[in-house]
Amino acid sequence: MELIDTHSHIYEPEFDEDREAAVARAIENGVSTMLLPAIDPASDERMFALCRRHPECCLPMMGLHPTSVNDNPTWRSDLQRVEGFLIRPPQGISRFYGVGEIGLDFYWSDRFVEEQTEAFVRQLRLAARFDLPAVIHTRAAWSRMAEIIETETARARAGGYRLRGIFHAFSEDLQMYERLRSCGEFLFGIGGVVTFRKSRLADTVREMALDDLVLETDCPYLTPAPHRGERNEPAYLRFVCQKIAEVKGLPAGEVASATTANARRLFLGGGERRMQTGSAGFQDPCGETQAVPEREKR
C-alpha cells in the first residue's frame, strides 16, 4: 500500500534527534513520498538539507507562511526571495513542487489582515505564473480565503493560466467543501483531525468525493489517534488512511490508491513553468513588467 504525505514538516527541530530514523519509518510504513512546505527563511535551509539528502522521497515547496508575515518588517523582501528561488532554485535542489505553505491565519491576531492578504494574493499569482500547485493554510479565515480563491481562479483563467492546489488541513463543513470545489482544480488535505473522537470532520469526509482527497500529517502537529499527545510523523499517515476507509466503507487499499494517484497528478503531473504573455517580459504579482531571463522564455 503506497501513501503520499502531502504536508510534512519533518525538517523542523522536533525531529533533530531522529530525523533519519523517521524517514526510514515512513518508508517502512508505505509512505513513498513526503511533500515539504516552506515556512520562512529561517527554516528553509533545514528543509533544503533534508531534500538534498533524500531527493527520492523528500520534495520541497517554496512559500511564506501567513503567520510569518505577522510582526515581520521584511516580509515583502521574503516574498521576493520566494520568487527568486522559484526562478532559480538553490544549489542541490532541482525544482520546487508547489507554492506553500501560504494562506490566511487570523487565529492569533487580526492586526495583520491586510499584510497577510497581500502576501497570499501575491503568492497565488506566483503559483499560477509558475504553474505550480498552491498549498493553502487557513485558520479563522475560511470565508475570506474562499472569496480570494474565487477571485484569483477567475483572474487566472481570464489570463490563460490555471490556479490549482490543496486546501491543507481541511476541517470545514460540506457547504464550504462544495464552494471551494466549484473553483476548479483543488484537492482537500485530510489529516489527523479526522481521527479525533469529537471532530465532525469524519461526517464531512463521508460525503466528499474520494477523487478530491489527499492525505497529510502536518507533522509534528495534529497527531492522529491512537497516538494523540505524541509527536506526529509521516509513518502515522496510515491511521488517517484507515479512518477515511472506515467512514467511507471502503478497503484501505482503495483509499491509498486513490489519494496517492490524486497527489501524483497534482504534484508530479509535469506542469511546466509559464510566464505571462509576451516574449520579452512577464507581469509580476505587483503589476510591474520585468525582463525574462533567456532560459525562462518559452
pLDDT digits (tens, 9 = 90+) for 146-163: 999 999 999 999 999 999
Q: Which amino acid is at 96?
A: F
CB 249 within 8 A of CB 96: no
Question: Tell me, what's the pLDDT at 269?
Answer: 84
Q: Which domains does the chain have, with CATH numbers?
A: 3-270 (3.20.20.140)
Q: How many angstroms separate the CA atoms of 4 and 36, rounded?
A: 11
222's grid cell: 495534529
Nearest to 60 by CA among 6, 24, 103: 6
Question: Tell me, what's the pLDDT at 286?
Answer: 41
Please give, one letter per residue, the 3-state secondary structure of 205-223: HHHCCHHHEEECCCECCCC
Q: How many angstroms separate the CA atoms of 100 and 15, rounded?
A: 21
Share of the chain above pLDDT 90, in %: 89
146's grid cell: 474562499
What DSSP element (H or E) covers 139? strand 134-139
Say whether pLDDT at 65 is over 70.
yes
Say whether pLDDT at 143 is over 80.
yes
Please identify which residue in the block is written with the cell numbers 471551494: 180
pLDDT tens digits, 78-124: 999 999 999 999 999 999 999 999 999 999 999 999 999 999 999 99
Say whether pLDDT at 285 is over 90.
no
Q: How many angstroms separate the CA atoms of 134 and 35, rounded?
A: 12
| Mean pLDDT score, 252-279 | 76
211's grid cell: 477523487
Q: Is the pTM of this model over 0.85?
A: yes
- Count of other CB atoms within 10 angstroms of residue 174: 14
Nearest to 153 by CA among 162, 144, 145: 162
74's grid cell: 521584511
Q: Using alpha carbons only, how large is the chain's radius of gyration in Å?
A: 18
In terms of DSSP H, where are the helices of the chain? 19-28, 41-53, 75-87, 113-130, 142-158, 174-181, 201-207, 237-248, 252-267
